[in-house]
Every structure is written in structure tokens, then in C-alpha cells.
Chain A
Amino acid sequence: MFSGFMINTWIAASIVAATAGLVGFFVVVRGASFAAHALPLSIFPGAAAAAWLGINEIGGLVAFAALGVIGIDALSRRGRPEVATALTLVMLLGLGTLFLSRTTTYAQEVYGLLFGQVLGIGAADITPIALVSAAAAGAVLLLFRPLLLSAVSRDLAQARGAAPARTDLAFLVILAMASAVALPVVGALLVFSLMVGPAAAARNLTDRAGLAIALSVAISLLTVWAAIALSYLTNWPVGFFVGFFGALAYGLGRGALHLRRARRAMA
């Protein structure tokens, strides 16, 4: 399980899980679940396009990540943000369907890209994954205060001169970067499960932002490690375990929240 070809998977998975845990905290406090679900799906055609043109997969994913961000941003200037998100999603995914229909021997890979695969990572992928993840994490730390402030109160953020609209765009970019690198490992459909599940659980466990982020990263890492180990043993898809553990973490977190509230009520 830890030898040879699997090493790349473990390294890449740990990097993307830590990034997802960090970015996921802001997905949860900013209520951006739909964007976190739509962006990975919009990015998914990038892999098909890359295979078609014969370029690096991560490159194709990052290019479509940019298209997804531009689409959501441009459409939500004129209408409801969630309609913008939904339409960007179907537009890019429609393109993806077109790319996929051009090749006939792609069925297995489509499945892997949608639901994750243990052996999707080669040694050449580690460097771009690490670089993009580091950029996403760096941007989060740099924008930590405005990201949190505009999530709590847009008016307050505006009063402090933080321009919430620009913060929203910056957050979309961060989300897109984290999604692009997580996609080959856990699959387009379940990237957001890795972002939402652990972070939601962490937020139910503590009220302090710093501690919640640390917990979110830890739960996310545990989720991915367990998912890969189980996937390796059973041959079942990584995405199944990620989705399952994500929901389990949220359920346990909610249970813990009830306990905390009950104890506080007694005291």
C-alpha cells in the first residue's frame, strides 16, 4: 500500500486534503457550498480537453478553472449569483460532454475523473499540485481577515474599506485552484464533499476560527487517508469513501454541538 507507485498518491492526496480543509472552512462560513460544488464540475472538462490536445492534465484543469471563475463572476454581475453558478456549471459541463463524445475509449477515465481514482497521480503531477496548492493556501492566509469579515458582515467589511465584491472574486479564484488540484484524486463530484464535510464538522466542534481551521485540516486529512487505504483494499472508488466520511463527520459534529449546547444549558 505504501510502496512504489502508491507513494505519489499519498503525497498528492495529503497536499490536496490539507488545502481542501483550509479552503473548506471559508466555504462553510461564507455559505458557498453551491460554488464549491459547481466549480469542480466546471473544471472537469479541462481534463478531457487536455487529453484531447495532449497537454498536461493539471494545465487543462487550471485553464478551465479560470473559465469557471470568469463565467460565475460575469453572469452574477447581471443576475442572481446562484443562477449564475448553475448556468456556468451547465455551460462548461456541456462543453465537456462534447469533448467526451469525440473520443470513444474514454468511459473508464470519465468515471475516474468524476468519482476519483487511487492511481490517477504520476510523479510529474506532484510539483504542479504542490505549487497550485501553495498558491491557494498563501492567498487564504494573506486575505484571512477580509475573507472572514465579509462572511460575517458585508456592511462592516465595506465600512473597513475591504470591497466585498473583490473579496468574493478572490475567494472564487482560491476555490478554483483548490478544486483543480483535488479533482484528479477524489473526483469532480466529490471534491466539495471533502471541503464541506470536515469544515462543517469542525465548525460545530468549536467557535474559535483558528482552532476550527486546524480541526478542519485534520479531519480532511484523516478522511482522505482512510478513503485511499479503503479504496486500495476494496478496489471501490475513492469518492464513495470521501462522500461517506464527509457525511459521517458532519453528523458527529452536529451530535457534538447538541451535547455542548445541552451541557451549557445545564450549567
Chain B
Amino acid sequence: MIGAAFFSNGPVQVALIIGGGAALVSAVVGVFTVLRGQSFAGHALADISSAGGSAALLFGIRPLAGFLAMAALGAGGMEAIGARQIRERDLVTGIVLGAGLGVTALLLYLDMTTTSASGAANTVMFGSMFAIAPSTIPLALGVGALALAMTAALYRPLLLIAIDPDLAAIRGIDPRLIGLAHLLVLAIAVALSAMTIGAILSTALLIGPAAAALRLATRPGTAILIAAAIGLCATWGGIALAYDSFYWTPGHGWPVSVFVVMIVLAAYLAAGPLGTALARRRMAGS
């Protein structure tokens, strides 16, 4: 089904590179996000970044720069209002998210009325995998590498805080500082995937592969590798299927995000019984 035409197609090449980068960063950062119970914060940052995406359309700047700036601003906002208890933290996340989405609403309205971008809501909220400018590649890969490097540097303290906050405090780790650094890495990850599979659906790449991997692996390092593999498979598989779908229903293909979400979900559901079987074998072996 997929021949040389697939790989020599310009937009497909860009989608494969940037989509792969976004999937990789999201999967790695996602493992810490799921471990720390911050799925909502990750989803909220992605939604907030949509305000940046719509502002970029309005002012004619690079979409990725817009997504990144707004996600970082959201991360800063959540940290500034701050809250210790989990319940209060979710509430603050919700309030910041509501305000951010309000801004998105207004910016998209202005996009649609003052520019010719009538499909702005679709592009920003549901992604534009095949419409990314090739010139975005260096910036996307650069910030992606930065996010991975920061995660590597924060590996031990992040893990310790996620697993045992009290022990982390005894070891002299400042939870606020690490928390802010993690939010910033999270912001980069979601901005990358928001641009590719859309602001609302980037949660699929952040949470899905990581949650599936954590059901299979007992060690965090292994979980990260499995998550990265699932994320890459879902994104590249999604791109290939979306490309192929142009032939299923002539005229217009199916959106990439649908396939990405379905593959991620299938991986998560399959990981449940598989993880149980693995654990049983491990018990029998020891």
C-alpha cells in the first residue's frame, strides 16, 4: 500500500520528522507526568497553548513559536498561583485553563473575522499534520532536544519526588523548583504535539503511551523506552494510514489524529492483560 511515493512526498516527510519528534518527547515526558499524577496539568497546558496557535495565525508568526510561548506562560501561571493540596492544584489548573480557553475563543473569532482563515478552529484544535512548513523542522527538533536533555538532567529528582515526596525533601530537593522545571518540559512536549495532532488531542500522545508502558514495565527506564516505541508507532502508523485513506474515500482523507488516538488506545488496552501475564511470569520465575 505504501510505496516510494509516500516517502518522497514533501509534506509527508515533514510530518514524519516533526510528528516523530513530538511523539518521542511526549512519550518520555508523559511517563513522569503519569507517575506524578499530572495528566490534567498536561492536558490543560496543551489546551492553553491553543491560544498561542491562534495568535500566531492572527499575527502571521510561526505557529510553533505561538504554541510554545503560550504553553510556557500557562506553566508559569499555574506555578505562580500555586497550591499544595492535589485537590486545590486541580482547581487552580482548571481556573487557568478556563481563562486560557477564553482567550483562545476570542483570538479564533478574530482569526475568522479579520483574516481568511475560516478553518482556524479546526486547524488549531485538531492539528495540521500535513500543513507544517518545512522551515519549522530545525526549531521543532531543537526544542525537542532541549526538552529531552532537561528530562535527562532531572531524571533522578523527578523520579524521587514522584515516588516518595518525603524522602525527596530529606535529600534536599526543592519540590517547587523541580515542579516548575517539569511543567516547562511538559509545555515544550505539548506545544510540539499540539501543532501536529491538535491542541485537544495531544493528550493522547502524552498520556496514552506512558500509561500503557507503565502497565508493562517495572523499571522507569524500561517504561520510557516502551512509551517512546508506542508513541512513534502510533504517530508514524497514523501518518501512513491517513495517507492511505485518501484512496479509501476519494476526495478527502481521514484525519491523522483519529488513527493516532485509535492506535494509542489499542496499545493501552492490550497492555493491561499483557502486563498481568508478565507479572505472573516474573513471580513464577523468582
Residues of A within 8 A of B (CB): 28, 31, 33-34, 36-38, 41, 78-80, 82-83, 85-87, 89-91, 93-95, 97-98, 100-101, 104, 107-108, 110-111, 114-116, 187, 189-190, 192-193, 196-197, 200, 236-237, 239-244, 246-247, 250
Contacts and interface: CB of A to CB of B under 8 A. Distances in A.
A237 B43 CA distance: 23
Contact of A94 (B94, B96, B201): B201
A104 B118 CA distance: 12
A243 B201 contact: no
Interface in B95-147: 95-106, 108-109, 112, 118-119, 121-122, 125-126
A243 B103 CA distance: 8
B204 interface: yes
Contact of A80 (B96, B102, B211): B211
Nearest to A79: B211
The B contact surface, by secondary structure, is helix
B252 A101 contact: yes
A89 B121 contact: no
B105 A237 contact: yes
A236 B102 CA distance: 11
Contact of B101 (A82, A98, A104, A190): A190
B203 interface: yes
A110 B98 contact: no
* Interface range on chain B (Cβ under 8 Å from partner): 35 or more
30 contacts: A33-B90, A82-B39, A85-B40, A86-B203, A87-B204, A87-B211, A87-B265, A87-B268, A89-B43, A90-B200, A93-B200, A94-B204, A94-B257, A94-B258, A97-B258, A98-B258, A107-B119, A107-B121, A115-B104, A115-B121, A189-B104, A190-B98, A197-B98, A200-B95, A239-B102, A239-B105, A240-B109, A246-B102, A247-B99, A250-B95
Interface of B: 34, 37, 39-40, 43-44, 47, 86-87, 90-91, 93-106, 108-109, 112, 118-119, 121-122, 125-126, 198, 200-201, 203-204, 207-208, 211, 215, 252, 254-255, 257-258, 260-262, 264-265, 268, 272
Nearest to B259: A94
A264 to B, nearest CB: 19
Contact of B255 (A101, A187, A190, A246): A101
Contacts of B95: 196-197, 200, 246-247, 250
A31 B261 contact: no
Contact of B207 (A86, A100, A237): A86
Contacts of B264: 90
A244 B97 CA distance: 11
Nearest to A95: B258
B210 to A, nearest CB: 9
Given A80-B34, A236-B106, A243-B101, A104 B252 contact: yes
A103 to B, nearest CB: 10
A130 to B, nearest CB: 26
Contacts of A91: 261, 265
B279 to A, nearest CB: 14
A76 to B, nearest CB: 12
A244 B99 contact: yes
A108 B258 CA distance: 21
A193 B201 contact: no
A86 B43 contact: yes
Contact of B102 (A31, A108, A111, A190): A190
Given A86-B39, A100-B122, A116 B203 contact: no
Contact of B203 (A80, A90, A97): A90
A108 B108 CA distance: 11
B201 A90 contact: yes
B203 A89 contact: yes
Given A98-B258, A107-B112, A240-B106, 6 more contacts: A82-B37, A94-B204, A107-B118, A111-B108, A115-B109, A197-B95
A50 B212 CA distance: 33
Given A33-B90, A93-B200, A111-B121, A246 B98 contact: yes
Contacts of A36: 94
B19 to A, nearest CB: 16
Contact of B201 (A82, A93, A196, A244): A93
Nearest to A90: B204
Nearest to A115: B105
Contacts of A115: 101, 104-105, 108-109, 121
Nearest to B107: A240
B94 A33 contact: yes
A68 to B, nearest CB: 14
